[in-house]
A and B are shown apart, each in its own frame.
Chain A
Amino acid sequence: MMNDTIRQWLLEADVATLEGRGGSELARFVREDPEVGALARRLTAAMRQADAALTGLAESAVAELPLQPRDAAGPAPTVRPTTRTSGVGAPPGSAVARRRPLYGPRPAMAALTLVTAAVLLLVVRHTVGPDRPFAGPDAKPLTADLHVSSDRPFAVFRTDNPDIAIVWLLNEGD
């Protein structure tokens, strides 16, 4: 017997019930009704396959995942955080070895840094250059105020023009 009520039960049942374990009415249907049992087995088989696939993908992914930076010399065949060499209780605030920059590929970071640097140079030149004092819409000189925080991978140059702020992305070595 298969009706919509049983199908709804199957959609929300615990895995144990889908496997026909326990004393619930649905578990009894799974054990005794071939059609219900077949649907329950289809659900558990699909979930088991998904679990195996996720496990397999994770294992293959970490097998290719070094813990040292990509450009570090030599292979990194074993798991070894770079912040300490033995034992436990390493000093807090240790740097985390990363395989890649967090916010985008390194070439793009370099390119963006160059662009922002060029913009900054232009602003500074127009602001403080002896020959060409900056003349904005309100004829006020534009000055930049640098904000840097040690835990952020970027620096913000705020200006006295509310429409202009310059963000400088820092490379790992900066």
Chain B
Amino acid sequence: MNNRDRAPNHPGAVHDLAGIVERAREGERDSVEELLSRIRPLVYRWAWVRTADRDDAEDVTQIVLVRVHERLAGFEGRSGFTSWLYRITANAAAELRRRRGVLSRLADRVRAMVVTEPGVRDPIESIEDERVRLLVSRIVGSLPDRQRTVFDLVDLEGYSPAEAAAMLDLNPATLRVHLLRARRAIRVRILDDSPSGSTEGTEHDE
């Protein structure tokens, strides 16, 4: 197993999983549970960013955890665990999207028949800072799929472009194009939301 199982500089990343993965592969039950617990938030985030839908993200997350559980013995460590995990997540999200395509018309009719469950709201609405809420909404809700995933992996989670290209099975040059488009779309909005003259409210790095 190589040492690429984390995105440096990212506080939510899965750090130091190599030992846990090895023990889980050997069937140690506690390690399996710990591994699944550790990866769950990351898988949900990836799934959410890919699907842009909270419920779909939940479904994808659960599918991925079961698949990791089933396939862990076959993980040989040729790629980083995180890359392997990301591909499982991406495949699960794609399968869900295909199945949704098959039934989309029926599903739309079903949804139209159902009154939205009271008390359920978009989790983004729970972000208190309005500027952050708008920014997250733009990232998750406005960027095209590929730009969204690339931007999240590289600029937010801190994976290198080469790592992200491997995780997404993308040509690095193609990834670069998507990344630059996403950066431009998001950063223009950030700067426009904060007029250039009002730098006194700028938040500084730690």
> Are A54 and B156 closer than 8 Å at their CB atoms?
yes
Q: Does B132 lie within 8 Å of A50, measured CB to CB?
A: yes
Interface size class of B (residues with CB under 8 A): 35 or more
B25 on the A face (CB < 8 A):
yes
A42 touches B194 (CB 8 A): yes
B-chain residues with CB within 8 Å of residue A104 when the two chains form the complex: 107, 110-111, 114
A60 to B57, CA, bound (A): 13
With A43-B191, A50-B139, A88-B72 as known contacts, state yes or no: A96 contacts B66, CB within 8 Å: yes
Q: Which residues of B contact A84 (CB under 8 A)?
A: 69-70
Residue from A2, A43, A98 within 8 A of B187 (CB atoms): A43
| Chain A residues numbered 70-93 whose CB sits less than 8 Å from any CB in chain B | 78-84, 86-90, 92
Q: Is the CB of B41 within 8 A of A55?
A: yes
Interface contact A90-B203, CB-CB below 8 Å? no
Contact pattern, B 99-132, Cβ under 8 Å of A = 1, otherwise 0: 1101100110111011001000001101101011
Give, as a whole number of angstroms, the nearest-CB distance from A117 to chain B.
Answer: 15
Is residue B18 within 8 Å, beta carbon to beta carbon, of the partner chain? no
Q: Would A62 and B156 count as touching, CB distance under 8 A?
A: no
Residue of B nearest to A80 (CB): B33
Q: Which residue of B lies closest to A60 (CB)?
A: B123
Say whether A25 faces chain B, with CB atoms less than 8 Å apart.
Answer: no
Find out whether the CB atom of A90 lies under 8 angstroms from the CB atom of B69: yes
Say yes or no: A55 contacts B11, CB within 8 Å. yes
**Are A46 and B135 interface neighbours, CB within 8 A?**
yes
Q: Is B88 an interface residue (CB 8 A)?
A: no
CA gap between A46 and B203 in the complex, in Å? 8
A67 to B62 Cα, complex, angstroms: 6
Within 8 Å of chain B (Cβ to Cβ): is A114?
no
Sample (18) of A-B pairs whose CB atoms are under 8 Å apart:
A15-B158, A19-B205, A39-B199, A44-B205, A46-B132, A49-B203, A50-B136, A54-B45, A54-B152, A57-B127, A61-B58, A65-B61, A67-B65, A80-B36, A83-B69, A96-B62, A105-B110, A105-B114
